[in-house]
Amino acid sequence: MDLYQLRRKLRRFAEAAMVRVAPLTHIVPERFRHRLRDGILRVSGISKGREPRRLPAPWQPGQDPAGINLYGFFKASNGLAQGVRLYAGAIDQAGIPLSCLNTDFLYWLPQNDTSWDSRLTQQAPYAINVVHINPDQWVEATNCYPISFFDGRYTIGVWLWELEDIPAAWSASLPYVRELWAPSRFIADALRKVTDIPVTVIPYGVEAPLDERLNRVDFGLPEDAFLVLVMYDANSYASRKNPEGAIEAFLRAFGTHPDRARLVIKINHPQKADLRRIERLLGKDGPYILIRETMDKPRLNRLIALCDVYLSLHRSEGFGLVMAEAMLLGVPTVATGWSANTEFMPEDCACLVGCSLVPVGEAYQYAAPGQRWADPDLDRAADALRRLMDDPEAARAMAARGQQYIREHLSPEVCARRIRERFDTILQEGG
């Protein structure tokens, strides 16, 4: 076992210890929590990994074999994790040699997805690095690996963001990359405001495998109801996902005691405050079904497919992956008509809800002063929900158009082709 492997084993031991103490951190004042984490790391003899290293040696075309070393949260269940897995599948489909490196430095992030386990490695033999990690975690993620993995390589960052201007602190990571990829034009436009390096739009190749053996009864859902699905992760800032707006639109559409309609709320990592908020808005015995189960993708996609509408009254999205998945599954989708999701939602393929743009204010801690996001029109959203229930034939036709649009424009084949074209250009032109 070399020193690098030993360090990784010690790091895993340290972070396992942090998982055990994590439930107790609520009794520690917030300003001391980082000290608790760093203390555990020091006791284990591991650097806390937050200090940036020297800049890697410049790109040396021809030094290493052609291929891609892809870094990211392969085993997690958040949006960044799903994105890196989609890119991995597209790179494979493009026929590009691929090395998959899991960034497992966050002790609080569950690592339960096993779909790419057979491909994970600790080797980075290829000429091009694609690091699917946002700049606020760039140092810790890249410090998990030797600097030699970056010396002489063409390093690309994949950065995801949900507003029109990226955080000022992100610019500190620009010297570590030669290029940026973004899954949407919305993100790319924000990145181009702060850098002259290439920014390439590589949309995700959306896939939605599902377990067709499951039916509504398996999820505790009524078989004869008109089901409107709302999904969000409480760790992903409810203020941006705006579940309150979706709940209010549902109530305006169908009232507090509807005959057929039911609201299905799928929430990951709920806190007591989230549950109290839902109960306050809908009542203890309101027209809703709350699902807190953590699901693998085939089960989750089946849940989406079994519902009659997917509703997202978000304030801003950097891509909008669940909306694209719902459309691919043939589910009518109602969504805020602003930010990245509008790039794959022509008006005849989904119900886009009009909105006004308002200051973000203090509702989203990462937003700089002066940034804005959407305030969707809840009456128009309610009207769209009623129309979809009252005219199922029109709903099915719209859903079919949406499904076809995703298949044509956001397929794994489209993503693979975009990556292959950019990969070949980098190697041909020497970056």
With DSSP H G I counted as helix, E B as strand and the rest as coil, what are the percentages for the chain, rounded to 5? 45, 15, 40
Pick from 200, 198, 166, 167: which is nearest to 183 by CA? 200
3-state SS assignment for residue 30: helix
Place of tokens 């929900």: 385
Cβ atoms of 331 and 355 within 8 Å: the answer is: no
d(CA 413, CA 421) in angstroms, rounded, equals: 12
As given in the structure block, the two tokens for residue 58 are 């410049």
Dihedral (Cα; 114, 119, 121, 123), 10-degree rounding: -160
Looking at every residue in the chain, the average pLDDT score rounds to 89
d(CA 326, CA 331) in angstroms, rounded, equals: 5
d(CA 18, CA 247) in angstroms, rounded, equals: 36
d(CA 256, CA 280) in angstroms, rounded, equals: 12
Cα end-to-end span (Å), the chain: 36
Which pairing describes strands 261-268 and 226-233: parallel, antiparallel, or unpaired?
parallel
Distance, CA of 10 to chain centre: 29
Q: Going residue by residue through the chain, which has 431 residues, state the pLDDT in tens, using 9 for 90 and above.
A: 444 345 445 555 554 554 444 444 444 443 444 445 445 444 433 344 567 889 999 999 999 999 999 999 999 988 899 999 999 999 999 999 999 999 988 877 788 889 999 999 999 999 999 999 999 999 999 999 999 999 999 999 999 999 999 999 999 999 999 999 999 999 999 999 999 999 999 999 999 999 999 999 999 999 999 999 999 887 667 889 999 999 999 999 999 999 999 999 999 878 888 888 888 889 888 999 999 988 999 999 999 999 999 999 999 999 999 999 999 999 999 999 999 999 999 999 999 999 999 999 887 877 778 899 999 999 999 999 999 999 999 999 999 999 999 999 999 999 999 999 999 999 998 86
**Total-model pTM:** 0.87
Phi, psi (deg, nearest 5) at residue 44:
-80, 0
Pick from 371, 219, 209: which is nearest to 291 by CA? 219
